Structure 1
């Protein structure tokens, strides 16, 4: 009897050890980003991506996701965390490090973006052609943009025309977007998107620019119930994102695990990011409508006034790039052409 008990105990222990061994990953990769886990990209792209990496590797790669800057630092420090190996992977806005990736700014210029999917695929093509040197410190998994950005303002300050921009304190996403807001009469305030709810509630800002997609996670329907969008096929602006890996973390992988990463990277991942962003825009707009918010769509004549000011921002950017020897007009033309080619 005692022998049977001992054998049963040893068998159970062996099974437990076997189960642990089967579930223990060969490689654990830390992915750090700035948004809460329930936001669109973390929940709809990053988490499924991590699960697919685990499945495709037969459990040999485990991707641990740390949202909301849980591993420390500020959103603008994420790129250096990936570069320096503080973390293995990051997802972040390129514009959180102003001036560091100047050629990427072409996609942030006014009235460029069509849909997130089309613009994301275009941005990936642009990355392959123009940004290899700019992102040389990283193993790039993909790049993408969000959908058409628009204006969201507090209840007392709806934007019905360009004149309504005068004196407004509006949060911007990047150097280029801030320049655009200033050119259109507002006082641009740079800050990460995660600080927007508190800044709105404390009247530090009168509003913000974000796409519909992100509005639910930062309580825009509640805090800034006026929304201003534009006529035509292009939105006011977009922001560029990078999903990247520390180069040493990637190079340390055996070839078969590198292939797992490679098979889940690239243009189709950019497309996935974009598609999820587009659906997020639909969801965000529906939430605002249900809350009784006011959405103002400026007519074609009014939109043209904004575009005229946007063209000045674009010309200034081209001149700035030319001054750095970066062929600003060529970069801008390629960005426009790639977006048009990918827009249905």
Structure 2
């Protein structure tokens, strides 16, 4: 090759490499990940940070996360789902129940006395959504569904029997937990988690239902004197359904190899892991309330029978309501219970 021609070839190749570099860099994808918990919460520290590290490693650092805890992208917790649909965030972690009526299929798991372990029920929710939730979540790319560890009652006076709820203003996270509290005789007050601390400190509410894990990060154990737990031999009083969901267009626009990374880190096993993390979080979080000197009592099975009777109608009403919306409510309820039994071994 003549010297001038060789020089020109090398120069052309160098230019091509230079021009290709931005294209290569353009394949790096930064995902905006938003949620409502503080950055100190288990969800942020023990789930999202390791998950983001894992997808970065498995994609050779082509997939990266920019985390926005505590609603740093703006808006309120009930708006997170819409933020994912609209692309304000690429991935959100939130409760479908924060937008009542929008995701009716998964509400069934929020009926009283359904769950025994977050891990088993989280597996059940993932399977269930594949059967009954495709329409509800059609605008999103769900990465996981899970529930939290067993929910209990916390407040400024002891709750030992059903009559103790009368006159209590109690916070609940979702539509069905509000109905549960109303059936108990309390006055339910719906609000997202970030509002509960201020509401307790100002006396807007007298108590709340929550699992143990979320209480210390928002310092509620410092504002709460009494905790009523249910007999551990019985199903949990309640749980709530969460989803980690991705903007559908953002997912579909990824190169195939990056889709594979997302797929490998989502689904049934990711859902089960989330539930397991929450199960394991309960004891150390509870200890914070013990160390604070708070008082505890356990509702025995005999008394819980009265609570079950008070809430039995909720399932009947839910089935009828689903039928009115065009769903097979009874089949959905039966399926949810069967899936929980399947995994609760």
Q: TM-score, normalised by structure 2?
A: 0.91
Match of 2:111 in 1: 109
Judge conservation of contact 1:153–1:207 (CA < 8 Å) in 2: yes
Judge conservation of contact 2:234–2:301 (CA < 8 Å) in 1: no
Between the aligned partners of 2:206 and 2:339, the Cα distance in structure 1 is 35
> Mapping of 1:65-144 within 5 angstroms?
65-144=67-146
Match of 2:327 in 1: 326
Judge conservation of contact 1:90–1:244 (CA < 8 Å) in 2: yes
Match of 1:257 in 2: 258
CA pair 40-285 structure 1, distance change in 2 beyond 3 A: same
> Mapping of 1:42-61 within 5 angstroms?
42-61=44-63
Judge conservation of contact 2:144–2:267 (CA < 8 Å) in 1: yes
Q: What's the secondary structure of 1:297's corresponding residue?
A: strand
> Mapping of 1:281-320 within 5 angstroms?
281-320=282-321
Q: What's the secondary structure of 2:182's corresponding residue?
A: helix
Does residue 236 of structure 2 align to residue 240 of structure 1? no
Judge conservation of contact 1:24–1:59 (CA < 8 Å) in 2: no
Match of 2:178 in 1: 178
Between the aligned partners of 2:141 and 2:286, the Cα distance in structure 1 is 35
Match of 2:34 in 1: 32
Judge conservation of contact 1:152–1:220 (CA < 8 Å) in 2: no
**How big is the alpha-carbon RMSD for the aligned residues of Structure 1 and Structure 2?**
1.6
Q: What's the secondary structure of 2:213's corresponding residue?
A: helix
Between the aligned partners of 2:24 and 2:161, the Cα distance in structure 1 is 62
Match of 1:230 in 2: 230
Match of 2:16 in 1: none
Q: What's the secondary structure of 1:203's corresponding residue?
A: coil
Between the aligned partners of 1:335 and 1:293, the Cα distance in structure 2 is 35
Between the aligned partners of 1:233 and 1:213, the Cα distance in structure 2 is 20
Between the aligned partners of 1:295 and 1:318, the Cα distance in structure 2 is 35
Q: What's the secondary structure of 2:336's corresponding residue?
A: helix
Judge conservation of contact 1:96–1:192 (CA < 8 Å) in 2: yes
Q: What's the secondary structure of 1:213's corresponding residue?
A: coil
Judge conservation of contact 1:229–1:235 (CA < 8 Å) in 2: no
Shift of 1:325: 2.2
Between the aligned partners of 2:55 and 2:27, the Cα distance in structure 1 is 11
Judge conservation of contact 1:173–1:190 (CA < 8 Å) in 2: yes
Between the aligned partners of 2:165 and 2:27, the Cα distance in structure 1 is 53
Match of 1:14 in 2: none
Between the aligned partners of 2:278 and 2:225, the Cα distance in structure 1 is 21
Q: Which 4+ stretches in 1 moved above 6 angstroms?
A: 20-25
Q: TM-score, normalised by structure 1?
A: 0.91
Between the aligned partners of 1:101 and 1:192, the Cα distance in structure 2 is 17
Shift of 1:225: 2.3
Shift of 1:233: 2.9
Q: Tell me the matched-pair count.
A: 323
